[in-house]
Structure 1
Amino acid sequence: MSALSRAGFVMGSRKIGIDFSGTVRILSIGLVAVWVLGQILRDRNFWTGLMFYFPTPVLVGGLLLLFTFFRTSRRLIFGLLIAPLGMLLGVENQWQRPSSPATPNSTMDRHQTPSHSDTVTQDTPTNLTPVRLVHWNLARGVMGWEKQWRYIESLHPDVIVLSEIPTLFDAATLTGFDVLVIDGMAVACHGLMTKSGPLVRGGALQAWHVTCQFSEGSLALMIADMTSRIGLARDPYLRPFVALLADRKIDVSVGDFNAPRRSLAFCDLPSGYRHAYDAAGVGWSYTWPVPVPCLAIDQCIIGPRLKPVRYQLQSTLLSDHRLQILDYEWLPRN
């Protein structure tokens, strides 16, 4: 190869490198711009909702990869990382449990759970054993309903809410529980239950009011399951659902909402209602998809009559959703 040819080859290579570096810059700026608009406008309409559902961990991971491999663009990428990394570390997740009074360790003995979960204990001055509620999307039981049930049973739940149950779901498997099967979901508790009809019109969000009768009193439970269709705006269905919490004096609501915890409707809960994660959770808050969850789409909302003692999320390879586990106590009535 002549000197002239070599020089031409080097110049061509540099041009390709410059062009590719420019493409990386444009791509990085575009992705962050979409994400920023989504975080500002959230799910106000269909289009902003699509931008809002762009997972923050995915954006942060992508920018970190670009930062690693493209030295010429590192200064720009570092600047673009600040906002999504701040959102990831300071808004969408909390790394310290909310403070609360101390409690004797004996109150938690019955409900100790595996150490691989993200766990927080909110202590209580009473000596009562907390009630345990477990919610899990079973993904139609494709990984084996028997294995899933054994895992649930090992958690010693008092109330169980299951989404996307297997087609051949057998309620008799849940020995010792009263079981209701409702439109692809199941509720089980150590007590008697009654249910309402469907509460949200339109069919996209299935919501039911279930009353569980315990010796301590009745638990007003609202279970929900939202369609996973990405082309459907969530807010028109979430607004009436949130209004039902106070209207029906719901104590706790759980389900697979296929909508992030920071959705507009979920940030405007009735007085006295809060997300269990915000009240008693810590660590990685995302629930789907396992093994690398990056969207917080399974929700647990608690009402003013309950005190959360512990809220945790657990990952297994038995479903693409993480389990939600809530331990709670009744607050004294005034």
Structure 2
Amino acid sequence: MSRKELHMSPSEQEPEQTDETQPLDRPVNRYWRAAYLFCGAVSIAGLFTRLTVTDRWLFLSTIYYATPLALLCVGCLCSAICTWALKWRRQSLVWAVLSVAMFFAWSTTCFSDKSQPTVESDISVMFWNVARKKDMVPAANLINQVDADVVALVESGWANAERRQFWEEHCPNYDISLLGGGLLVMTKGTSGTCVAEELAKNSIYRRIDCQVNGHELTCVVVDLKSDPYYSRRPVLGKLANELAPFRDKNLVVMGDFNTPVESVHFGPMRQFLREAFEVSGKGYAPTWPHPAPVLWLDQIWVGPTIQPIQCHRLTPVNSDHRPVLAMLRIADEVEE
């Protein structure tokens, strides 16, 4: 030690650098803090909206739709990792507990095994958003492979003679009904006249009666706007009001609602309809986006005269939406 250093006070002497105060660690800590700021803020916002107002208020509904349980679980886990790296042990423990809670909520909500044995007279119904693909041959092949009694598609292309010819050639076992707006219904029976309705701009539905396996079904195909910045309340409320008069018929409502099934705005529909997967689902519920779906957007709802027996998702081809397949039983055939 030099003579100058001997005369320096302890406060004037340069402290020795330890592993925790290495200059090289400081930029790394900034990255951890930035990651924590993002993950923590998103997770807190998502948890707050989910536990309080859900999607009741328009300005918070976007946060609710953008933070499904699967992403909240990941966000809480990332926050736990970031705070652990920053040596903030108590915060890390809190985030770890929240991550476990979100994982439990996700697993209990999104996975189901409620299916029942089927009988020969059950009616199979398939719904699928085929995502406006130009090449529909893979979609037609999957439809023929599934061989459902009723098939409803959205985003299937223009309703013209060329499109009709394509489906008649590739799915010869079905009666084809082009409903307009990219909506289509195929039945292994006969179908009646289509009634076209508009709920709002870019939000439509079609209603058509079908004769299948000796039963008349009132099939409703829905395609709602995907914009997250509009309220679903008036659209779903109007849909419920217009379908309520058909509650005593064999009503099947299927579509891409672009709204998670747990939304409070499905309340009016729940007064007389049941979602098939909630009643008889098997497997993982979310349908979009494939191959890692986190949102339950594609749904099949049925009226009081129909009992869902089975409902599960299929692996799509050329689409980011998973097809939905349900086995339905008419009320007069349900065993007491």
Q: Same fold (TM over 0.5)?
A: yes
- Aligned counterparts, 1:1-334, within 5 A: 7=17, 10-39=21-50, 40-54=52-66, 55-68=68-81, 70-71=84-85, 72-73=87-88, 74-90=92-108, 92-95=109-112, 97-98=113-114, 121-123=115-117, 127-142=119-134, 144-167=135-158, 169=163, 170-172=166-168, 173-182=170-179, 183-249=181-247, 251-332=251-332
In structure 2, distance between residues paired with 1:59 and 1:215? 44
2:124–2:327 CA contact under 8 A, matched in 1: yes
Using the TM superposition, give the Cα deviation of residue 86 of structure 1 relative to its aligned residue in structure 2, in angstroms.
Answer: 3.3
1:179–1:189 CA contact under 8 A, matched in 2: yes
Using the TM superposition, give the Cα deviation of residue 50 of structure 1 relative to its aligned residue in structure 2, in angstroms.
Answer: 0.1
2:49–2:55 CA contact under 8 A, matched in 1: yes
1:280–1:309 CA contact under 8 A, matched in 2: yes
Using the TM superposition, give the Cα deviation of residue 204 of structure 1 relative to its aligned residue in structure 2, in angstroms.
Answer: 3.0
Using the TM superposition, give the Cα deviation of residue 8 of structure 1 relative to its aligned residue in structure 2, in angstroms.
Answer: 9.8
1:274–1:302 CA contact under 8 A, matched in 2: yes
Query: Cα–Cα, structure 1 residues 165 and 305, in superposed 2: closer, same or farther, change >3 Å?
Result: same
Larger radius of gyration: 2
In structure 2, distance between residues paired with 1:16 and 1:8? 16
Instruction: Tell me the amino acid that sits aligned with residue 156 of structure 2.
Output: I
What is the alpha-carbon root mean square deviation over aligned residues? 2.8
Cα deviation code 1:94-124 (max 9, x no counterpart)? 43x23xxxxxxxxxxxxxxxxxxxxxx3126
Q: Which ranges of structure 2 fall in alignment gaps of 5 or more residues? A: 1-12
In structure 2, distance between residues paired with 1:287 and 1:50? 19
Residue 104 of structure 1 aligns with which residue? none
In structure 1, distance between residues paired with 2:290 and 2:149? 25
Identity within the alignment, % = 20
Query: Cα–Cα, structure 1 residues 333 and 59, in superposed 2: closer, same or farther, change >3 Å?
Result: closer
Query: Cα–Cα, structure 1 residues 215 and 296, in superposed 2: closer, same or farther, change >3 Å?
Result: closer
Using the TM superposition, give the Cα deviation of residue 196 of structure 1 relative to its aligned residue in structure 2, in angstroms.
Answer: 4.3
In structure 2, distance between residues paired with 1:86 and 1:255? 28
Query: Cα–Cα, structure 1 residues 258 and 270, in superposed 2: closer, same or farther, change >3 Å?
Result: closer
Q: Which ranges of structure 1 fall in alignment gaps of 5 or more residues? A: 99-120
Q: Please give the secondary structure, in 1, of the residue aligned with 2:199.
A: coil
Q: Please give the secondary structure, in 1, of the residue aligned with 2:137.
A: helix
Using the TM superposition, give the Cα deviation of residue 213 of structure 1 relative to its aligned residue in structure 2, in angstroms.
Answer: 1.9
In structure 1, distance between residues paired with 2:270 and 2:311? 21
Instruction: Tell me the amino acid that sits aligned with residue 93 of structure 1.
Output: C
2:124–2:328 CA contact under 8 A, matched in 1: yes
In structure 1, distance between residues paired with 2:284 and 2:132? 25
Using the TM superposition, give the Cα deviation of residue 65 of structure 1 relative to its aligned residue in structure 2, in angstroms.
Answer: 4.1
Instruction: Tell me the amino acid that sits aligned with residue 176 of structure 2.
Output: V
Query: Cα–Cα, structure 1 residues 272 and 238, in superposed 2: closer, same or farther, change >3 Å?
Result: closer
Using the TM superposition, give the Cα deviation of residue 140 of structure 1 relative to its aligned residue in structure 2, in angstroms.
Answer: 1.1
Q: Please give the secondary structure, in 1, of the residue aligned with 2:43.
A: helix
Using the TM superposition, give the Cα deviation of residue 4 of structure 1 relative to its aligned residue in structure 2, in angstroms.
Answer: 6.1
In structure 1, distance between residues paired with 2:93 and 2:32? 13
2:276–2:326 CA contact under 8 A, matched in 1: yes
